Each structure stands twice: as C-alpha cells, then as structure tokens.
Amino acid sequence: MEQRSHPLAPLRRRAVQRHLTSGFRYTFEVPILSLTLLAVAPADAASTAEFRAGLANASGWEEVARKDVEGVGEILIRHKVIGGTDCLEGSATAAVSPDILLTISYDIPGQPGWSSWKVPLSATLKKSGTELDYYQVLDNPSPIADRYWFLRGNYGRQGEDRVFTWELVDPATTWPAALAEVKARFPDAVMTAVNVGDWTFTPIGGQTRIRYRICTDAGGNIPRWVGEIAAKSTLPTNIADAVKEAKKRGAK
C-alpha cells in the first residue's frame, strides 16, 4: 500500500511562522519546533478509568470537522478534553461487516500491510482469550521523533456492538526484553505519554456504524494546537484504512 506523508510534515513551516510571530527565540542548531515526545505521562494525566468514563459521557463533545472520504463517505470528528488531555472521536457508516472490522482492529501483525502510515514494527506479545498485549513503532519524518507504545487490548461483543479497547502498559515491568529491542532498533524513538481508546462497530441494517475514539498526549515540546491538527488528519485516515481493508477481506 502507498504510504502517506505524515500529517505533521506540512505544519513545520506554519509552526515556525507562528513561533516567530509569538516572539520565540532560537538558534540555527536547535529547531524552533522540537517534536520530541516525553516518555513519561503528564503529572495531571487522568487514569485509564477516568478516560473511559469521560469517553462514555455524552456531554462535553464538540464537533470540529466533517470530512468526505472516498470509499467511506462522511466522517464526523468530535473533540473533548478529559483530565487535561485531548480526546478525539471519529464516526462513519459503511456497508462492511462489523465482524470483519473487529478482526481487523486486533490484527496487530497485519496492520503494516494495510495502514497508510509507516509502521516498521507491529507485533503481538501475548494473547489469552480476548486479551492481548502488543507493541508498535510509528516511523515519523525528521525532525519528529519516532513514537512507540506498549498496549493491552481487549475485544469482544457488548450487546450488538463489536468492541476493541486498548490502554498503555508499563513495558519496563511487563515486557522488558521487548522494550530493550525497541530501544536497540529505534534508539531515538520515545514512548507516548497517554494512549487510551477504542473501536466500536455497530450493525445497522445492512451497514455498520464505525466509531473510533482516542485520548493521546504527545508530550515534549509539541504545541497542543499542532498535535490536535495532526490527530484530526490521522483519524479519518485510520477509519478509511479499516473500511478499505474490510471490503477487501469481505470480497474474498
């Protein structure tokens, strides 16, 4: 699959201009916009339970965009701040199987084959029943540091909904060998500070309502407005990728 340029790439010049007009000082050797991520969560970050409760709460969501995507249709994007962290929700309706979409959502080793983003490492560490631990690395363009995350996912049915949820795990205590591998292969990569979210696929007649939600904090020196713009760009692509892969698998 043809891989897309990273959503932050076209923002570099805009970010530089914004910082210049804001009176930021810099030197030639140090980029104005340092897109390096912190490996520790912000001190005021919400707990996983608080994120889950906030995502489930219907209040506080604000529509920020609607985007027509070929092969999917209209994708609605909403935003909410939970515990000081930006959370986004994308939703769409498509004529694809909810069961195939669910299978795709937890097909961690297969994601590099259908994702538009460059994912050089995507592997399941352990699977027990409907729970799995996995890790992934996202290859970002310079000067943006590569990102990686260790997550615990869980999938299944909740009524008619097919749901896949994930949250961060501490690799230093749960998967130290895999963490060492990531640091050896990607020495400049850093771990995301917050990564909590879910996919929900609900059958509606002959179609499926797709909902993708994520709370994430890039940390470091990335301005909040840059991270939010990037997330708004990646979210429709993630949904479109899943729908296109589901159509491909459904046609077999």
> Whole-model pTM?
0.80
What type of residue sits at position 194? V
Segment (H or E) for 21: helix 11-21
- Domain locations along the chain: 46-250
What is the three-class DSSP state of 230?
helix
Beta strands 147-158 and 190-191 are: parallel
Q: How many CB atoms lie within 10 A of CB 44?
A: 8
Q: How far apart are CA 23 and CA 104, in angstroms?
A: 46
Q: Would you identify the CATH topology of the domain 46-250?
A: Alpha-D-Glucose-1,6-Bisphosphate; Chain A, domain 4 (3.30.530)
User: Using an 8 Å Cβ cutoff, are 143 and 34 in contact?
Assistant: yes
User: Using an 8 Å Cβ cutoff, are 203 and 157 in contact?
Assistant: no
Q: pLDDT tens track of the chain, all 252 residues?
A: 545 544 444 433 333 333 323 332 222 222 222 222 323 344 456 899 999 999 999 999 999 889 999 889 999 999 999 998 889 999 999 999 999 999 999 999 999 999 999 999 999 999 999 999 999 999 988 777 888 999 999 999 999 999 999 999 999 999 999 999 999 999 999 898 899 999 999 999 999 999 999 998 755 455 555 555 666 677 899 999 999 999 999 986
Nearest in space to 7 (alpha carbons), one of 246, 250, 239, 237 = 237
